[in-house]
Each structure stands twice: as structure tokens, then as C-alpha cells.
Amino acid sequence: MDKLQIKTYLESNKDRFLDELFGLIRLSSVSADEKFKEDIIRAANYIVEKLKEAGADHAEICETAGHPIVFGEKITDPSKPTVLVYGHYDVQPADPYDLWETPPFEPVIRNGKIYARGSCDDKGQMYMHIKAMEVMNHLGDMPCNIKFIIEGEEEVGSNNLEIFINENKEKLKTDVILISDTTLIDNDTPSLTVGLRGLSYVEVEVTGPSRDLHSGVYGGAVDNPVNVLCKMIDALKDKNNRITIPGFYDRVIELSEEDRKALNEAPFDLDEYKKDLGIRSVAGEKGYTTLERVGIRPSLDINGIWGGYTGAGAKTVLPSKAYAKISMRLVPNQNNKEITEMFTKYFKSIAPDSVEVKVTPHHGGQPALTPTDSIAYLAASMAFEESWGKKPIPTRDGGSIPIVALFKDALGADTVLMGFGLDSDAIHSPNEHYGLFNFYKGIETIPLFHKYFSELHNSV
């Protein structure tokens, strides 16, 4: 199997590959909301069917307490190394719908990009692996055994995946985990993600008076839970944008000057970055660059806030309750459960006596660092170099794939994060998209990884 053979088969099947991906994207498999449950089931079944068509020995739906997990495998020779591909078929909610230029679950091509919810995260990136298996199968060259574990709850915390993995360690036994759910620096600058942030996500409820009040009759004499919530949120960061939760930074590893210098040498154009986001200036923790702020520093964001009257016109209400969804991104060595506890304790401690505060943890995940001195990383690096003609740069991403730490614990296997997306793909946002270049580049590069991983594995 060489690059030319892969490209030839890919070229003559590219339209069908895209059609199949479109079929998957059209299923609105939003995991956060029960009303999409039917499409969740349809999406899982669709993947089972496509795994079989692509040459899997078998593929199955595995029921969980939540949305089902798809498992599939093609074992060609027990003496070959095994690659476990992880991906997810669930997607983020598409709200706000009115900001989409075309409907989120009706994929269209514009400017060489697939526009749809899940086009990149993670249907497009995950589906490359199924098509890569088809390519290798067609060429009659399977360098590794392949297993697939495609879940439906990644966007809501992967709670049932952990149980499933721990109950099926033998079935999932592997030499490496392969995941495409991260990004390249740009289409001309290949990169491999070696660090991911963890996540602690909570919802807070602040209750003031037991009923909504008239803001004229009571305003100024009774604490307003929205004002109080704003004050409490503001108190979570100091004037240098450092998070004020006691102990929050205790486990954060400060990088050496040398490592920071290396990190900041990655290609990055601040003007382009600001232009892409439509902002005049960036902002964040004092003393760190933008790349450091998302790569090696934790963060805290309000993902949603609501309270009082939010309809048309004016209502002079002093509301009874105010709510916010708050998430913290964590860096290696921080522990998400510990951080959630610290947040809860601190947030309650800064509440005035006039309100009640409830904190509900949503989900979390551990930060992760993947090794750069493994044969798996080397295989990925070689595959990228062959595909692009240049060596990939190791990078640290701001996002979270909690499953990486989980796989290491449960299966003892390291992960290779071989992402083909771009930061500008607007994942989790309206008008999410994924480049056709990236989709096809992935399908072309993945078989090369299998080839080099097998070669290196056998030569160890």
C-alpha cells in the first residue's frame, strides 16, 4: 500500500464518501436534549451499517444507561498490532438556529467546505476512519487490526463510556488509541495535538426572594439575585484575569522558559486571529500569550446565563432566581473533581446572606498530555510528513477530550490525537464547517499511520 494507491481509490470514490457522510450529518443526533433521541438511535445504526460495508468483521450497538455506543472491529491477524479508533456520533445543540446561514442538519458545500452541525465535530473527522478502513480493505492491505468505539455522549460528558470501557477491557484491548477530534495549525502547517485541557462544568442557581417582585416596590431594599450572580461571577477573577478560587492553581505546572519559548514559536498571527473573531483586542490572564492562555493555562467561562424577563419590551421585575452555566478548562495535573469541589465551596462562600446558592456539577474530564517519544507518535508524524511533505508540529489544544485520560487509566494505552480540523471551523457554533480538503486529507493520511505504526511496532 502506497500513497498513490490510496489516492487513486479515494479519487474514484470521493463523491460516494461525501454522500455517506451527508447521510450521517442529516441525523440530528444532539445528545444534550432528549427530544433528539430518535436521531441518536438512527445515527448509531447508520454507523453500524457503514462499518460493515467498509469491511468490519462485525459491528454492533452496545446499550448503555444513556445513548448507545457503537463497537466494531476487523481482526485480520492476532500477531499484528491493534489500533482502537475512538470517535463520537453525537453533536452539540445547534442553537441559536437563526444565526445559521443554512439549516444545521442539511449539509451543503460552500467555498469547498461542508456546512452543518457535526460536519467537523466529530462526524466528519470520525467518518474518515471508517473510509480509511474501506481503502485499506479494498487495497487488500490491513497493516493493523482495527477496533472502533464510537460513542453518543461525548458532548454531555461521556459518563456511560467510562462504565462501558471498564466492563469491556478485554474486548477493547489495544496497542494505541487513535482519535481525530482536534485541529491542525492550518492546512499548510500540519500539527499533532499533544496536550488537552480538562473540564469542570457546573450550573449555578441563585435564589433571592421566594417570588418575582415588582422592582419599583422592592428595588433597592431587597437583593436582586441577578445583580448578586453578576457580582459573584465577577469575583471569580481578579484584575489580572487570574481565577480567584483558593487552591485553583496549586497543581498547575509552570512551564520552563524554554518550553514556553518553543510553544510560542508555533505559527500564529494575532492580527489574523483577531480579524477572524471580529474583535479589537484579545484578553486573558496577565503575563501569558494567546497560545499560552489556551494551551497551558486554565480558564473560566460563563457558557450561559439567564434570569428575570427576557422577552420583548420592558417588565419591571425583581426576579426570584438567576442561573448560569459555568465551565473551567483545566491543564495537566489539575484534577477536575477536585476543581469542581473547590468551585462549589468558594462560590457558596462568596454568596451574601440574602440569597441561597445551589451548584450542580454537569460533567467534567481530566486534562491530558500525550507522549511524543512513543512509536505511535512517530508513526503519526511520519504519516503526516508523507502526506504534507513536512513534519507536523506538536501543539497543545485548549479543548478537552476527557476520554484520553480515561483510556490511559483503563486500557493502559496512549492516545494519538490526529486531528484534521481547523480552529476556524466554528465547532459548537452556528455555521460549523469542515473543509473537503481536510476530509479527504484525513482519509489519505490515516492508512499511512496504520502502515508506519505496524512497521515500527514489528521492528521494536
Catalytic residue numbers read 90, 154
Residue 122 binds a second copy (CB under 8 A): no
What are residue 372's phi and psi, to 5 degrees?
Answer: -105, 0
Are 43 and 117 contacting, i.e. CB atoms less than 8 angstroms apart?
no
- Strands (DSSP E) along 55-94, which ranges? 58-62, 69-74, 82-88
Residue 284 binds a second copy (CB under 8 A): yes
Q: Give the CA distances from residue 221 to residues 58, 189, 228, 353, in Å, rounded to whole numbers and listed in that order.
A: 68, 59, 13, 14
**Binding mask 239-278 vs a second copy (x if CB under 8 A, - otherwise)?**
--------------------------------------xx
Cβ-based nearer residue to a second copy, 174 or 400: 400
CB-count burial class (<10 Å; 0-12, 13-18, 19+) for 254: exposed
Q: Residue 408 and residue 412: Cα distance in Å, rounded? A: 5
Answer for which of 61, 141, 162, 209 binds a second copy (CB under 8 A) is: 209
Residue 103 binds a second copy (CB under 8 A): no
Answer for which of 221, 256, 258, 373 binds a second copy (CB under 8 A) is: 221
Are 364 and 215 contacting, i.e. CB atoms less than 8 angstroms apart?
no
Rounded least distance, CB 301 to a second copy, Å: 5
Answer for which of 267, 282, 345, 390 binds a second copy (CB under 8 A) is: 282
Cβ-based nearer residue to a second copy, 24 or 156: 156
Answer for which of 5, 290, 335, 374 binds a second copy (CB under 8 A) is: 290
Stretch that binds a second copy, among 51-59, 61-69, 193-201, 434-442 (CB under 8 A): 193-201
Cβ-based nearer residue to a second copy, 174 or 438: 438
Answer for which of 102, 166, 316, 349 binds a second copy (CB under 8 A) is: 316
Cβ-based nearer residue to a second copy, 169 or 279: 279
**Residue type for 360, please?**
T
Q: Residue 286 and residue 344: Cα distance in Å, rounded? A: 25
DSSP 174-199: -SEEEE--SEESBTTB-EEEEEE-EE
Answer for which of 111, 140, 257, 312 binds a second copy (CB under 8 A) is: 312
Rounded least distance, CB 242 to a second copy, Å: 11
Residue 222 binds a second copy (CB under 8 A): yes
Rounded least distance, CB 426 to a second copy, Å: 6
Question: For residues 390-409, which are near a second copy according to CB under 8 A?
Answer: 397-400
CB-count burial class (<10 Å; 0-12, 13-18, 19+) for 25: buried
Rounded least distance, CB 378 to a second copy, Å: 27
Residue 385 binds a second copy (CB under 8 A): no
Residue 101 binds a second copy (CB under 8 A): no
Stretch that binds a second copy, among 127-135, 306-314, 374-382, 410-418 (CB under 8 A): 306-314
Strands 317-318 and 69-74, sheet pairing: unpaired
Q: At what angle do helices 375-388 and 436-459 cross, to 10 degrees?
A: 140
Q: Residue 44 and residue 373: Cα distance in Å, rounded? A: 35
Q: Give the CA distances from residue 319 to residues 92, 191, 307, 325, in Å, rounded to whole numbers and listed in that order.
A: 30, 49, 7, 18
Of 38, 19, 16, the residue nearest 28 (C-alpha): 38
Answer for which of 323, 341, 358, 455 binds a second copy (CB under 8 A) is: 323
Question: For residues 341-380, which are near a second copy according to CB under 8 A?
Answer: 352-355, 362-363
**Residue type for 343, please?**
F
- The count of other CB atoms within 10 Å of the CB of residue 196 is 32
Cβ-based nearer residue to a second copy, 145 or 336: 336
Question: For residues 53-92, which are near a second copy according to CB under 8 A?
Answer: 92
Residue 4 binds a second copy (CB under 8 A): no
Question: For residues 146-185, which are near a second copy according to CB under 8 A?
Answer: 155-157, 183
C-alpha cell at 351: 454568596
Rounded least distance, CB 278 to a second copy, Å: 3
Answer for which of 322, 339, 403, 446 binds a second copy (CB under 8 A) is: 322
Answer for which of 14, 26, 52, 237 binds a second copy (CB under 8 A) is: 237
Q: Residue 69 and residue 86: Cα distance in Å, rounded? A: 11
Q: Residue 333 and residue 352: Cα distance in Å, rounded? A: 33
Stretch that binds a second copy, among 127-135, 167-175, 315-323, 411-419 (CB under 8 A): 315-323
Cβ-based nearer residue to a second copy, 152 or 319: 319
C-alpha cell at 433: 464547517
